[in-house]
Structure 1
Amino acid sequence: MIYQNSLDSARWLDSKDPLASMRERFCHPVIKGKPVLYFTGNSLGLQPKAVKDHIETELTEWANWGVEGHFHSKNPWYSYHELLTPASARLVGGKAHEVVCMNSLTTNLHLLFVSFYRPTATRFKILCEGKAFPSDRYLLETQVQFHGLRPEEAIIEIFPRDGEHCLRQEDIEAAIREHGDELALLFLGGVNYFTGQWFDLAALTAVAHEVGAFAGFDLAHAVGNLPMALHEWQVDFAAWCSYKYLNASAGNVGGVFIHERHGLDPDTFRFGGWWGHDKENRFKMESGFSPILGAEGWQLSNAPVLGMAALKASLELFDEAGMAALRAKSLALTGYLEFVFNDVVEQFPGIGLEIITPADPAQRGCQLSVRLKGTDRRLFDALTEAGVIADFREPDVIRLAPVPLYNSFEDIYRFGVVLTSVLRQLEVAA
């Protein structure tokens, strides 16, 4: 696609966008009386306007039914999580019985490690990417300690080569094979939160299985961002949150995928809870945990309905738009941001800014991470003050995420105008 850094060009691109009307289905923040340019859907997605009605429906049902709402409300609460399953399964490319929405992300990962990290004296190592999200790092540290192991011996971190920002596929695969006899688990973020790099999960899973290890992924920055086919890729397990690209409110319910070869096997060990127990006998209150077959067997407690109502509103928009169309727009929108950013930065050679996200669109979603080389956090603060809501990660990276559901090409052009103004001010100040 040929881009031009002009308002007319941006508006022309918006006029050709089949998803342009989706933007009006979201609430757009106004901060200090001024509409902002919102590029941080990779941290917290915007609120779909339908969320209010979905939650008010459940509040009304609660008011009218009380406890009887579990079985007699419009959307019975005892099975509310099942309403989220089909759309969630489509998003990650799983079968319905391989997916369930429950708990929160790191809680779910700890529960999945109960099943998939069962170290032995000879096979006990976990391979992960360096600069994993801190919660994942703490997860790994405490999991290996729980099994009486030392993190420095059990956790293998793989880092980019000197002078590079992203991992090379061949280096990850080589590390898997190098530690193969000792490797219990490959565990990566599907999209690295810091650089925005999207890993080839199918290929990595195949190599992990080749050496006898499980493959699991944190999909917090991948779900709702990139098309996936977890069942086809033979991924053993995955988990995700719903408040980033899934726009379901801060800290809301997460989701898990468990491949059917594990989920349909009642001998796959997992912790028990009454919502994971055989549905036909759940309310008999008897001893003896008998897990539901499939991912539902990993549930512990009944559904947090108000949070799930917000997720339901967002998932309906994903079904309406379709991941293929969202990915197509994401490629164009992120490409335009890259073009506008580079066009602006070239005008200020004395201020070094560098995109560290892969230039290959096949290795990224809708995030560009920018390293501040010739300036400091003052640039981020100035952008914020000028109405650009982005995200800063220590020590020197700004993350920008143009989300295809609600960002426009004009948003990106206007970001370029603000960036030009801010860089000019910094240049003068220097």
Structure 2
Amino acid sequence: MTDSMTDAIRDAVLSGESDPGHFAALAVPESYWGVTVHADEVDMFAGMRSDDKDPRKSLHVEEVATPEVGPGEALLAVMASSVNYNTVWSAIFEPVATFGFLRRYGRRSELARRHDLPYHVLGSDVSGVVLRVGPGVTRWRPGDRVVAHCLSVELEDPEGHDDTMLDPQQRIWGFETNFGGLAELALVKANQLMPMPAHLTWEEAACSGLVNSTAYRQLVSRNGAAMKQGDTVLIWGASGGLGSYATQYALNGGATPVCVVSSPEKAELARRAGASLIIDRSAERYSFWQDEHTPDVAEWRRFGGHIRELTGGDDPDIVFEHPGRETFGASVYVCRRGGTIVTCASTTGFMHSFDNRYLWMSLKRVVGTHFANYHEAWQANRLVAQGRVHPTLSRSYPLEQSAEAVYDVRRNIHQGKIGVLCLAPAEGLGVRDQELRERHLPAITRYRSS
């Protein structure tokens, strides 16, 4: 995957060049390589069980046309990206194929019509360098080193001006829009951009955007659980993409995390992150369903008892939910009276089942959160830049092996986050603040040494 124009862009970035004029003078290629799914293949898994759908069969790494840069937009040279569960959903066409999102967006305006294509370039994380900015962009210039959050909004409706996540035209870039980050180039709105943390490599910087911002809103923000000092926080999947950041926020914020993991290796990662209260679901053989249709209430009780043993009798003030169907009933049950179950996803299924008596009679709250607004994402990224929250990258793949990276996430055989090298020719590049990096190196590389 080489092109003379792409090589010139890569060489300019790797040289440390930052002059806006130099990057503005670089030619932008007419096409680039990206990870796609195809509209004519959305039925390829029809009739199959969800667990049998293999993203390696639907994902393509292919050459696609470079989009024009519109008003308020920026074109990025992508040095690295990462895999999120929304790419898994896109790749297995669940719960719906993403081409419906692209068609609806395309009907909105002439500018949005560019996104309605027979292929979808995926990916909702990026670290890289600005190549071009569209009319009206003044904060960012070619040559700026950036990361991007994945909230795409129009802000033409009043609902979005208190919290942009409530904008009726809110979309997740690279999932509900095209030209995502698993590629050599990416098209974003300029108000998605944030400074790249100077002490991180390209792949480390790329892995935090979506999950870190999501965990910040879900756990810390007043739009989520508004966690406070002294809270007990139950964190599902505590060594995974979302949970690894939630664990850091709980520890940083004076809360006590109770970390639920699925193997001894993941339990050890949680301990190395600073957590001491850990439940290994596999060792305890927790199963919260008797069969496909019948929740196992006795298992909820056993789980709640285990939590109380660890905490000295306390139930969780907050349950950090994202597995969904498999765990939601247990989450509602074990949450303390007056506590909060805050949910942002449903990776094990979208149709939840719980006993409502344990919700209404104990005055518990269920709060839905979805990604983060620009201010929340900026604050989350600022904490990374300050070395207070650390990336949880465990492994990186080259762009041409992105399907394998997605498969790892699909099968939950990964730790933390999986990175993808795009224009970056190798790992370990891009660091500008070596002193800050050295101070935090054990935490930055914690998941790499697992």
**TM-score normalised to structure 2 length:** 0.32
Which protein is bigger by CA-based radius of gyration?
A: 1
Task: Considering Cα pairs closer than 8 Å and 6+ residues apart, tell me whether 1 or 2 has the greater RCO.
Answer: 1
**TM-score normalised to structure 1 length:** 0.33
